[in-house]
Amino acid sequence: MANINDNIRSKKLFKEGSSGARASKGSDGEFTVSKEISDDLAALTDISDVFNDNGLYQVNRFLIKQIEDLREDVEELHGFIKDAFGKDSSAAASQGVKGNTGSTGPQGPSGATGAAGAKGSTGSQGPAGPTGPAGAKGNTGSTGPQGPAGAKGDAGAKGATGSAGSNGSQGIQGIQGLTGAAGSNGSNGAKGNTGAAGATGPAGPRGLTGPAGSNGSNGSQGAKGDTGSQGATGAAGSDASVSGATASFAVGKVTYTFKNGLLTTAR
């Protein structure tokens, strides 16, 4: 047997607040929304927009299913209470303890199928979805083949030959002079003295500079000198790293002397 709580557990999902107010949860656990939102929710009578808009439907379909399940439970509970206690709560409260439920009677015959209900009106069309982004630009097509060369145009007509210019007028010929009388032959003159040597003529102009001579060929490379003989290998030095070692050894022309493991001279 079950009992009904004095206070219902659920809280109001929304109640009206002041105009333009932001939604907030009060100390009573209920939510207060702006007057505009409250008026809008109170005016809702048609859920068809949610079913016609696929985006809204996909987001709310699980919630719609759960609300429908809850509605059926409430409908069954309502029918049970009305059948068990009637519509008057005061009469139900004055009743004594209910007796045991009798056995279930046999199931009556199925009733005739009722007439089909009138078809509901078509819901309004949901708002158009946002325009999708522009597709990427397609690849540029390949260049088509070059068309055939056009026919060669006709040669233009040859221009007419210009007329010859007129000859200029000839000048007046001059009068020929009279021929002079022939002179008599003169006697031979005496031989003249030999003339002085003529002065030296000025120097002739400087001759042009001759072309530059070609570069002479490179001389042959001299023979490579012989490699000098290798110097003698120096004597192996003694190990002076041992503590207290005393020794001398030569490297080339320098003699190194160690005493007690320390270098003392290098001559």
pLDDT, position 240: 43
Residue type, 104: T
Q: What's the CA gap between 7 and 74, in Å, rounded?
A: 17
- 155 is written with which tokens? 């040669």
- The encoded tokens of residue 142 equal 């390949």
- Residue 34 has a pLDDT of 96
CB 123 within 8 A of CB 46: yes
Look at the block and give the residue holding tokens 């006709």.
154
Query: pLDDT > 90: what percent of the chain?
Result: 22
pLDDT at 200: 63
pLDDT of residue 91: 76
Q: pLDDT (tens digit, 9 = 90+) per residue, 186-230? A: 676 677 676 676 666 676 677 676 676 666 566 566 666 676 566
Q: Please enumerate in sequence order all residues whose Cβ is within 8 A of that of 108, keeping only pairs 6 or more positions apart, or say none.
A: none
Q: How many CB atoms lie within 10 A of CB 33?
A: 19
pLDDT of residue 170: 61
- pLDDT recorded at residue 66: 93
Tokens representing residue 252 in the block: 């080339």
Per-10-residue mean pLDDT, the chain, length 267: 70 89 91 94 91 94 93 93 85 65 77 64 60 61 62 66 61 58 66 67 67 66 65 53 69 82 82
Give residue 63's pLDDT.
92
Q: 101-116 b/e with 16+ CB inside 10 Å = b?
A: eeeeeeeeeeeeeeee
The pTM is what?
A: 0.31
Quote the pLDDT of residue 242.
46
